[in-house]
């Protein structure tokens, strides 16, 4: 069943908060990492879903929602996807430079802190 708020909504709120406190350059770099994480979740994270969640995702995806993962699921699936995003996606699949990996780790750590301080208990 869908969780509320969705990952997409959480990303929007996080970026809105970051925009208020970061320089334009820092904000753009942060936004890029969030976009990369969203793309990873929408393209690959469905493989970690249980049967019921996978059926819900399949139905939405087949109906044309290419961002179904982030639109359907919430904080629990987001948090569960962060480690594979770093380990299998950035390092192995994309082979991004270490500096980019470190920046992504900083942003996702800030995201986790933000989720926790925003009252999302599943962090």
- Domain ranges (residues) in the chain: 7-117
What is the average pLDDT value for the chain, to the nearest integer? 95
What is the percent of the chain with per-residue pLDDT over 70, rounded to a whole number? 95
Is the whole-model pTM more than 0.85? yes
Render pLDDT for 22-70 as a digit per residue (tens, 0 to 9).
999 999 999 999 999 999 999 999 999 999 999 999 999 999 999 999 9
Nearest to 42 by CA among 67, 63, 5: 67
Instruction: Report DSSP state, residue 46.
Output: G
C-alpha 73/C-alpha 68 separation (Å) is 8
d(CA 100, CA 123): 24
% helix, strand, coil for the chain, step of 5? 80, 0, 20
């Amino acid at each position: 069943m869908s969780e509320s708020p969705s990952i997409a909504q959480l990303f929007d709120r996080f970026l809105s908060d970051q925009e208020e406190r970061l320089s334009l350059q820092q904000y753009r770099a942060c936004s890029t990492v969030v976009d990369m994480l969203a793309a990873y979740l929408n393209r690959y994270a469905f493989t970690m879903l249980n049967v019921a969640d996978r059926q819900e995702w399949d139905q939405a995806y087949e109906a044309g929602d290419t961002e179904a993962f982030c639109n359907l699921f919430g904080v629990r699936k987001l948090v569960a996807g962060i480690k594979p995003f770093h380990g299998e996606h950035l390092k192995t699949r994309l082979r991004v430079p270490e500096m980019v990996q470190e920046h992504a780790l900083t942003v996702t750590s800030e995201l986790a802190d933000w989720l926790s301080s925003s009252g999302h208990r599943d962090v």
